[in-house]
Structure 1
């Protein structure tokens, strides 16, 4: 199945063509933390942001 959430660490606001076709309806969370410093607190924060979003799956 396609992913529901993509977490991009490092503060970069780009996807680098990673899973480009599978990410059509994926929610993105960009975090300004490097991967070696990524903790469960960052994961919890990303999941919290995701659960508060209104997903429209391409609708307006």
Structure 2
């Protein structure tokens, strides 16, 4: 699972709504993506 982005939410799928989806997108957009590098080599 190299370079895989995972998102975990406590909301179960039947209750997953647009605000939950938007929260997931915001979490992804705010990640510091390093593509396998460590902090010192960025």
Task: Find the structure with the greater CA-based Rg.
Answer: 2
TM-score by length of 1: 0.58
Q: Which is richer in strand?
A: 1
Q: How many residues align?
A: 38
Task: Specify every segment of 5 or more residues in structure 1 that has no aligned partner in the other structure, as ranges.
Answer: 1-22
Relative contact order, higher structure (CA 8 A, sep 6+) = 2
TM-score by length of 2: 0.78
Task: Specify every segment of 5 or more residues in structure 2 that has no aligned partner in the other structure, as ranges.
Answer: none
Q: Which is richer in helix?
A: 2
Extract structure 1 runs of 4+ deviating beyond 6 A. Answer: none
